[in-house]
Structure 1
Amino acid sequence: MDERMDTVEVFNGVRLPGFMHTPESLRTACSFQFQDTDVLLVTFPKSGTTWVQQVLSLIFCEGHLWPILHLPNWSRAPWMEQVSFSHLLSQLEPTRPRLLTTHLHATALAPALMRSKARVVYVARNPKDVLVSFYHFHRVANFLPDPSSFEEFLDEFLKGTGFFGSWFDHVKGWLGLQRDLNMLLITYEELYQEPRSTIRKLSAFLQQPLGPAEEELVLEHCSFSFMSQSSVVNYSLVSKQIMDQSRGKFLRKGVVGDWREHFTPEQNEKFNAVYQTKMKDSGLHFPWTRGGHI
């Protein structure tokens, strides 16, 4: 796959890294036959995907930690649109609900999903923090171009012309389907601020009750300190040619509000104006908005 490191796939007008996406892998995802027991984690990149993959794995492991300690998170909850999906899917335990992950927009995947009762967990995060995390990730991931400057990266993010498309379209597209799909929305912020109650909300939605000891196990093994030290979560198993963590950690900070360390007042004003325009009619209310303002 090295020869595809610098290639770009354009799918439904959205740019994707060709290193892990091909026309065939994307078509396969869109025609996937979901089972009613499937659990699909949906995120825009850098919204807490790895964290919630870990939480979901822990909720379903029923206290058996071997997979948590030995299997990489991408094999426990593989990405549907990636070239490795068919192989990883065949290795999932047939006796448990299949945990699947996607960054695809709703326009691509919702038609297939609507033919099942599969559960969808959508994770949203303050887009300012998403932007900052994605900016740093571009510097680590060799299958993404180096960002020329933070200012240009911010402009590209607001226009939705960067990799994986528009955050605004992704969030509005998926959350506009809350009545049509068996979906639970959680936010990075609530998982960060109230991990126990958020995990309980997830386990109730997944109809996978946790006893007190199991709950503690989940909390311990989805903490930032545990995940950042775990080779099967922190992406240190991935070769330096693909992800160069000498340029920055994959699990960088795991905090809320890091955007304040990066945005100038002018950039913040610009971002707020675009957010207001794009989200004002969405009817969506998030923890990072106060009185309609971000």
Structure 2
Amino acid sequence: MEVTRKYIEFEGIKTPGGVHTPESLTWAWKEFEVRDDDVFNATYPKSGTTWLQEILSLIYSNGDPTPVKTKFSWDRVPWLEQHSGRGQVENRPSPRLITTHLPRFLFPQSFQKSKAKVIYTVRNPKDVCVSFYYFSLYAEFMERRENFQDYITHFLSKDVMFGLWFEHVKGWLTMKDNPNFLLLSYDNMTKDLRSNVVKICKFLGKDLDDAAIDSVVEHSSFKAMKENNMSNYSAVPNEIFSKGQGTFHRKGISGDHKNHFTPALEEEFDRIYKEAMKDVDLAFL
């Protein structure tokens, strides 16, 4: 893979170069044929994407941890829009578990005619911003900022990767009344993972017994994933992820923004949030 800090702009959204091409994005949007039993793990970046990859892998193995310990997460639940997506997804046997960061308006057009299911996980945007900042120091393909305050300005601009958090979330929330759409809260999951696993199983029609659910919870914990070389991105070369700058799994908590935002920054962020999300009810954040 070519490592570059250049972005590809596609329909007004910036995606990292190297892993995305205009062709791969066009294919995902206009040509990919969705199947009725596809399950999409959709997120804004740094909102629990890898966590859901692990949870879905374990649910579909009925709690057996073998797949998550023997196969990389990006192979188990691959990204649709990356240049490797077509080869990984197109001829995969059903049911296909697929990951995407695409905004709703760039989601596969064939989805509209299908019974496929989408799980969308949303996270407190202040925590997303903090996580994104540290990821930008670690990922060699991302733009960097000198300090966290500068990064907040970047995060609140249209230059941020995959577009503004507010627009991404609002776009996906247009589906909230669709029975094939499940909205999850990262913040609620950190408080009570088991009840959320049960909720996901019910949504997917997967009838797991208590022991299997316990196994899903155990093997998708932050500690288990951080120690699992199939899920912690330690296998990614240093020229892509600079290991000296941190680890992919940093804290896995809710509320870390309190350690980074000054009162003035928090007040300004809250003002922008209230204006951008004034017509949206996300009280559970």
TM range (shorter): over 0.9
2 CA distance for matches of 1:160 and 1:113?
Answer: 27
Residue 153 of structure 2, aligned match among 155, 162, 177: 155
Instruction: Output one character per residue of 1:44-97: Cα deviation in whole Å (capped at 9) or x when no partner.
Output: 0000100111001111112433211111111111110001112222574x2x41
What secondary structure, in the 3-state scheme, does the structure 1 residue paired with 2:113 have?
A: coil
1:7-57 deviations in whole A, cap 9, x for unaligned?
A: 210011111111110001001110211101000011000001001110011
Unaligned runs of 5+ in 1: 289-294
Paired amino acid for 1:256: S
Query: Residue 9 of structure 1 aligns with which residue?
Result: 8
Contact kept? 2:28, 2:108, Cα under 8 Å: no
> How far apart, CA to CA, are the structure 2 residues paired with 1:169 and 1:157?
12
Aligned residue runs from structure 1 range 272-283, under 5 A: 272-282=270-280
Distance in 2 (alpha carbons) for counterparts of 1:216 and 1:180: 29
Closer, same or farther: CA 7–156 of 1 in aligned 2, 3 Å: closer
Q: Report the aligned-residue RMSD.
A: 1.4
In structure 2, the partner of 1:292 is none
Deviates more, 1:83-92 or 1:166-175: 83-92
2-side partners of 1:101 and 1:144: how far apart?
A: 20
Deviations 1:231-262 (A, max 9, x none): 11000010000011220110000011000110
Aligned with residue 172 of structure 1, among 170, 173, 195: 170
Q: Is the 8 A contact 2:20 2:83 kept in 1?
A: yes
- Report the equivalent of 2:42: 42
For structure 2, the residue ranges without an aligned partner over 5 or more in a row are none
- State how far apart, in whole Å, the 2-side matches of 1:237 and 1:64 are: 23
Which residue in the other structure is 1:101 paired with?
99
Tell me, yes or no, if structure 1 residue 205 matches structure 2 residue 174: no
Alignment correspondent of 1:140? 138
For 1:249 and 1:238, locate their aligned partners in 2 and report how far apart those are by CA, in whole Å: 11
State the partner residue of 1:61: 61
More moved, 123-132 vs 105-114: 105-114
SS at match of 2:119: strand
Does the residue aligned with 1:144 lie in a helix, a strand or coil? coil
Distance 1:64 1:195 in 2: 18
2:57 and 2:76 in contact (8 A); partners too: yes
Q: Give the structure-1-normalised TM-score.
A: 0.93
For 2:112 and 2:91, locate their aligned partners in 1 and report how far apart those are by CA, in whole Å: 25
* Amino acid across the alignment from 1:6: R
Deviation at 1:135, TM superposition (A): 0.4
C-alpha distance 110-278 of structure 1, shift in aligned 2 (>3 A): farther
- Any idea what SS the aligned residue of 1:184 has? strand
Which of the residues 248, 251, 256 maps onto 1:250?
248
Could you tell which deviates more after superposition, 133-142 or 144-153? 144-153
| SS in structure 2 of the partner of residue 249 of structure 1 | coil
In 1: Cα distance, 2:215 partner to 2:91 partner: 25
CA distance in 1, matches of 2:190, 2:45: 17
**Helix, strand or coil at the partner of 1:121:** strand
Q: Verify the 8 A CA contact 1:17 1:144 in the aligned structure 2.
A: yes
Match in the other structure for 2:115 = 117
**Structure 1 residue corresponding to 2:221, chosen from 217, 220, 223:** 223
List aligned pairs for 1:26-37, cutoff 5 A.
Answer: 26-31=25-30, 32-37=32-37
The one-letter code sitting in structure 2 at the alignment partner of 1:161 is D
